[in-house]
Chains A and B, each alone.
Chain A
């Protein structure tokens, strides 16, 4: 956060930000209260935001509580990251028609509106950057993803409070956003500090009547964000993880976690970086046309491991090991980074509260397997 770039908007004037976004043609989407959690939905006025609420998250449990303060971004996050806005859970890819001499195929393209996502977290932004790597890399640009992504304007809110499930500081993705946003906010009592991260962000800022942030305010923001990082449970050093996890392939901990895991797919559905999908063709009853749809899939399903007449991951143990090892080890080989941004969603939204941090720690501990002892672990 640079002194020159950072400006102050009184929280009471938050509506001016909404006005400016709406004036630029954005549909503003932000956290809203629904079904005892926060979910992304349209924000037409500031009161649509969960003002005066906070979330408490722990393994397998999510609860909201009212604080009665004027805090606008007191709820850290809900079940979904930004993922569904670029990588849709269900997307029609093409239509197929039978013709006199075969088939004709019509690709379908989404016609996304311009969306301003207000209240993303630094880990969410980092997750979106990983999705970009997957869907927009090199020659393999995914057209539906690209068109949705191009229409997103991201307003991140730096974290000043971590959940018990958060571990972004270990994954170096938060609690302060570094890149990948159009605007970044930090909420401090009754003011919002705002800085731009893109030209589009600057264009919004110029439309707002704001003063530059004082040194004192910036120092206060840094102090709170640092304290948020300090408060988190730490995960093992990133550098040692891949090899240590490969070495732990036969660790007995996999059996223990498999006895708890339901292979229900929730962890992968809420993970900001999971990108697996399946493709389904649906013919019409008359046999004259059909539609191809892409759906979110998961490495925890039976069919995911079903290849050429055989299931290569028949048991829950195979699947959990595949998931964890992919996130924290194979992802490095595949994409040159970790597949985890430390958002903690897989921990909260696991119906039986499996905590991936505990699993990693146990897998690196020495008692299960000879090769598991690594630098830094006890």
Chain B
């Protein structure tokens, strides 16, 4: 067991920020392995699952959710200080999540629309990823995460090997599964070619187009990653699959819309949209 000294069990903490709890539920959905997991780890802090809430330090901290309040800006720093290995889980934590759509909007008007007493709401104007605030050791993508990938990474950490988190395209998994490509056979705007695998190509396996919930495929966890070629795919969506610029914007501005390369692509098409409307 590499990341703890001696014979004691590694201590696990699971923390929630702005999120829907779906990724934490994925942990609990590991029904067959949950007992083994409980045997291998000391679950010291996991309010979603247990009323036992022990203070740190933690050997492994799983962090769900994005940073949307000042209070959370401080809390994530405290978590980081208590965590030997910090792993973010899910699109909110890794990229700001769907709530990062506010980053392109006026937070004041959002508050007005949603709450009867907007003056009670204290929130930041943006939703940002955990890595924007503290150092992150590993990232698990997805909305929600893939529970087998989580198990795999925890197993690797326990075994003392560097976790293998592939960031190849969804297409690789899609073809290994023997799916028919929905772009080529049905003309659907699938984001699989620029999206990181890990989900097992669930959506194309069900005959629909990937909407990028695992975020941009950006090389590998260690070493320099290159952004995926979103520009070429976006052009294909527009030129050959008939998407108008606003559709292209929406395609990239979803659950991982604030992830760097998806954000750049949607912003480029938002400009095209404005230009074409203006002309």
Which residue in chain B gives the minimum CB-CB distance to A58? B184
**Bound CA span A60–B159, Å:** 44
CB distance from A281 to the nearest CB of B (A): 8
Q: Which of B177, B183, B223, B235 contacts A306 (CB 8 A)?
A: B223
Q: B169: CB under 8 A from chain A?
A: yes
CB distance from A190 to the nearest CB of B (A): 30
Q: B240: CB under 8 A from chain A?
A: yes
**Bound CA span A316–B218, Å:** 12
Which residue in chain A gives the minimum CB-CB distance to B232? A260
Interchain CB contact under 8 A, A265 and B172:
yes
Report B223-247 CB contacts with A as 1/0, cut-off 8 Å.
1111011011101100010000000
Interchain CB contact under 8 A, A269 and B176:
yes
**Bound CA span A280–B165, Å:** 12
Report A236-272 CB contacts with B as 1/0, cut-off 8 Å.
0000000000000000000000011111111001100
**Bound CA span A348–B181, Å:** 10
- Of A109-117, A137-145, A282-290, the segment with at least 4 beta carbons within 8 Å of chain B is A282-290
Q: B121: CB under 8 A from chain A?
A: no
Interchain CB contact under 8 A, B176 and A296:
yes
Interchain CB contact under 8 A, B168 and A303:
yes
- Of A126-134, A191-199, A349-357, the segment with at least 4 beta carbons within 8 Å of chain B is A349-357
**Bound CA span A35–B152, Å:** 32
A351-B180 CB under 8 A given contacts A262-B232, A285-B154, A301-B168: no
A264-B155 CB under 8 A given contacts A61-B184, A349-B184: no
Interchain CB contact under 8 A, A90 and B240:
no
List residues 169-207 of chain B with CB under 8 A from any CB of chain A.
169, 171-172, 175-187, 190, 192-194, 207
CB distance from B154 to the nearest CB of A (A): 7
Residues of B in contact with A, size category: 35 or more
**In the complex, which residues of chain B have a beta carbon less than 8 angstroms from the beta carbon of A297?**
172
**Bound CA span A378–B210, Å:** 43
- Of A76-84, A168-176, A205-213, A361-369, the segment with at least 4 beta carbons within 8 Å of chain B is A76-84
Interchain CB contact under 8 A, B229 and A265:
no
Q: A314: CB under 8 A from chain B?
A: yes
Interchain CB contact under 8 A, A34 and B180:
yes
Interchain CB contact under 8 A, B193 and A262:
yes
**Bound CA span A352–B161, Å:** 38
Interchain CB contact under 8 A, B37 and A79:
no
Interchain CB contact under 8 A, B185 and A35:
yes
A302-B220 CB under 8 A given contacts A283-B159, A287-B159: yes
Q: A69: CB under 8 A from chain B?
A: no
Q: Which of B180, B190, B226, B231 contacts A36 (CB 8 A)?
A: B180
Interchain CB contact under 8 A, B184 and A264:
no
List residues 50-85 of chain B with CB under 8 A from any CB of chain A.
none
A303-B220 CB under 8 A given contacts A270-B175, A352-B232: yes
**In the complex, which residues of chain B have a beta carbon less than 8 angstroms from the beta carbon of A36?**
180, 185-186
Interchain CB contact under 8 A, A60 and B240:
yes
**In the complex, which residues of chain A have a beta carbon less than 8 angstroms from the beta carbon of B171?**
264-266, 269, 351
**Bound CA span A60–B226, Å:** 24
A311-B193 CB under 8 A given contacts A37-B180, A285-B155: no
Interchain CB contact under 8 A, A302 and B40:
no
**Bound CA span A348–B184, Å:** 7
Interchain CB contact under 8 A, B180 and A306:
no
**In the complex, which residues of chain B have a beta carbon less than 8 angstroms from the beta carbon of A301?**
168-169, 172
CB distance from A311 to the nearest CB of B (A): 6
CB distance from B221 to the nearest CB of A (A): 10
**In the complex, which residues of chain B have a beta carbon less than 8 angstroms from the beta carbon of A158?**
none
CB distance from A69 to the nearest CB of B (A): 22
CB distance from A271 to the nearest CB of B (A): 11
Q: A70: CB under 8 A from chain B?
A: no
Interchain CB contact under 8 A, B236 and A60:
yes
A302-B159 CB under 8 A given contacts A39-B178, A90-B176: no
Report B147-169 CB contacts with A as 1/0, cut-off 8 Å.
00001101110110100101111
Which residue in chain A gives the minimum CB-CB distance to B41? A285
A351-B190 CB under 8 A given contacts A296-B175, A303-B220: yes
Interchain CB contact under 8 A, A89 and B207:
no
Report A80-96 CB contacts with B as 1/0, cut-off 8 Å.
10001000011000000
**Bound CA span A348–B169, Å:** 18
Q: B22: CB under 8 A from chain A?
A: no
Residues of chain B touching chain A, judged by Cβ–Cβ distance below 8 Å, are: 33, 36-37, 40, 151-152, 154-156, 158-159, 161, 164, 166-169, 171-172, 175-187, 190, 192-194, 207, 219-220, 223-226, 228-229, 231-233, 235-236, 240
Nearest first, the 6 closest Cβ-Cβ pairs linking A and B are: A269-B175, A264-B193, A35-B180, A302-B219, A262-B193, A89-B176
